[in-house]
Structure 1
Amino acid sequence: MSTIAFIGLGNMGRPMAGFLLKAGHQLRIYARRPEVFQNEAKHLIEAGAIACSSPAEAAQGADFIITNVMGTQDVAEVLHAGSEAAIKTAKSGAICIDHSTIDPQGAKDIAAVMASKGVAYVDAPVSGGVKAATEGTLVMMMGGSDQDVAKVKEIVKNYAKTITHIGGVGHGQVAKLCNQIAQVINIQGVAESLRFAQANGADLQKVFEAISGGMAGSRMLDLMGPKMVSRDFKAGIEARLHAKDFFLVKDASTKSHLDMPALQTVAVQLEKLMASGWGYDDTSSLLKVLEA
């Protein structure tokens, strides 16, 4: 069994950490909000996890350092840039596993800093949301060396169902952003379809049933269609998280001079969604943006 530092105990991080405890690993956990230890993550401590006051404390003696935070700067802060970052105590030979969705170049930059201290890095963003994290069925995309990825798979198999090694460091992030492009543009398409039906007085439920059985059928239609039809905008996937990832792609594509017109259009819709205060609602709220 390994000693694992787990940094980031949000809605997805907590169940992932729980699976590692069940597998028998020694877990040293850190949350950027101290009150998490008294509330949401209390059960992890009761199950044997060691609560730590900083990333550096969590990383001390760890074989693996897992991060599951928000953005590129957050990952850099907890791993090497902060005053109490993990790099200050991480042992040579340890491997960082980053489940956050961040900029591919940022992942390469962070990996280079960690490598200067003898610490390896694998970017391993995930797809599937809280439901898959809770069920241990996440889809994972990895970037890193063959040797490091082989070691990491033995750890993440506890909560990931599908694991694909894409290529070198940063390529896991590329694959995750590709996932977000296809996913969110699809959600916008579902919203526009149902908005068109709505504007023409058609029964939304019957339209959904009709098109879901045809070539328009997709996982996102099956997931988002019923939510839009019933106007259930309670978050399954918070729109702000999709927006964060989508804006990453928008910036990267602009820097690379890539022509991605659908992405640009949907990014504008997400900006309107966020400006309307619906960031903590489901991304199916893209229908409400069209209605507005």
Structure 2
Amino acid sequence: MTITRTAFIGLGIMGGPMAANLVRADYDVTGYDMSREAVERLVAAGGRAAASVPEAVAGADVVITMLPDSPQVEEVAFGGDGLLEHGKPGMFHVDMSTIKPETSCRVAQAATIKGIRPLDAPVSGGERGAVDGTLSIMAGGHADDFEALRPLFGVLGTTVRHVGPSGAGQTVKAANQLVVGGIFGLVAEAIVLLEASGVDPESGLDVLAGGLAGSRILELRRHSMIKREFAPGFRIDLHHKDMGIVLAAARRAGVALPLTGLVAELMAAAKAQGHGHLDHSALLKVIERING
């Protein structure tokens, strides 16, 4: 199937650069966002502007949603002015938000009834990955639909996998978020330990990054964490929301994830201490506060 028209709903920190990358790859992209400035940035990059969801969706072959949480996805999908009401049969709906797996399943079921082809395809890689087109994309839904959109996904990410039926993408993303949150917490504790012991944290973390403890987080964030620079690439508020999704998924699956529970409490503490607008690496502020 040839994809000629793409609608992108949600042009924030992640969605904006993702939509711009599609424009640069010669996709015809129409964008909608509650923020006028976000839409204007897409237009400046060569995209088209829509004043509403129905206008964005009209005639689209693919609709991508990148929204903060389940309620926003449900509103855009199910509302009277929603994409399921105005999308044409055969259209793809790719939800790249991070939401509850059960929400993805409900949206997918309703889309299928309407003749729309749903995929839940959340991403990992943060703002840098969105800008560079190097995201990891984990997709749930029909394998044939995933294969039809593989070229589009290839514009947005470098690790692109079909992981199972509807909702599976969100479950994999939940697992991703528990690992990312846990690593941020451990890096924060390592910085506090090194500094309290009189060891240069720059040198110490450089060694860790080159050994078995190395990770993408150490590679990208160790220097900014040491400098206490927490400009948001992915906000504490969103990671706090995601940890709630992880805990709910664990309860549904009937498994105990004790370390995940601790990471969730640290995220909740960061939010309660007023750091919700900061990057999730600001878990360091919580660990510092614990240590006076």
2:70 is the alignment partner of 1:72: yes
Question: Matches of 2:179 and 2:252 in 1, distance apart?
Answer: 20
Name the counterpart of 1:148: 145
Name the counterpart of 1:17: 19
Give SS of 2:149's match.
helix
Q: Is the 8 A contact 2:32 2:39 kept in 1?
A: no
Question: Matches of 1:98 and 1:130 in 2, distance apart?
Answer: 17
Question: Matches of 2:57 and 2:269 in 1, distance apart?
Answer: 40
Question: Matches of 2:25 and 2:230 in 1, distance apart?
Answer: 36
> Which deviates more from structure 2 when the two are superposed, residues 246-255 or residues 183-192?
246-255
1:48 is displaced (CA, Å) by 4.9
Name the counterpart of 2:157: 160
1:12-58 Cα deviation digits (max 9, x unpaired): 2112112222233322221123xx2xx23324324553322221221
Residue 84 of structure 2, aligned match among 87, 96, 104: 87
Question: Matches of 2:286 and 2:71 in 1, distance apart?
Answer: 30
Name the counterpart of 1:213: 210
1:117 is displaced (CA, Å) by 0.7
Question: How many residue pairs end up in the alignment?
Answer: 287
1:218-263 Cα deviation digits (max 9, x unpaired): 2222333322322222223322222221221012213433211101
Aligned CA distance change for structure 1 residues 204 and 155 (closer, same or farther; 3 Å):
closer
Q: Is the 8 A contact 1:228 1:287 kept in 2?
A: yes
Name the counterpart of 2:59: 61
Q: Is the 8 A contact 1:177 1:246 kept in 2?
A: yes
Structure 2 gap ranges (5+): none
Read off the aligned partner of 1:49 and give its amino acid letter: G
Give SS of 1:157's match.
helix
Question: Matches of 2:44 and 2:185 in 1, distance apart?
Answer: 43
Question: Matches of 2:219 and 2:23 in 1, distance apart?
Answer: 34
Name the counterpart of 2:269: 272
1:96 is displaced (CA, Å) by 0.3
Question: Matches of 2:112 and 2:160 in 1, distance apart?
Answer: 24
Once the two structures are superposed, the pairs formed by residues 69-218 of structure 1 within 5 Å of their partners are: 69-80=67-78, 82-218=79-215
Two-structure CA RMSD over aligned residues (Å): 1.8
Aligned CA distance change for structure 1 residues 74 and 198 (closer, same or farther; 3 Å):
same
Residue 285 of structure 1, aligned match among 282, 285, 288: 282
Aligned CA distance change for structure 1 residues 117 and 131 (closer, same or farther; 3 Å):
same
1:139-175 Cα deviation digits (max 9, x unpaired): 1111111211111212222222221111111111111
State TM-score, norm by structure 2.
Answer: 0.91
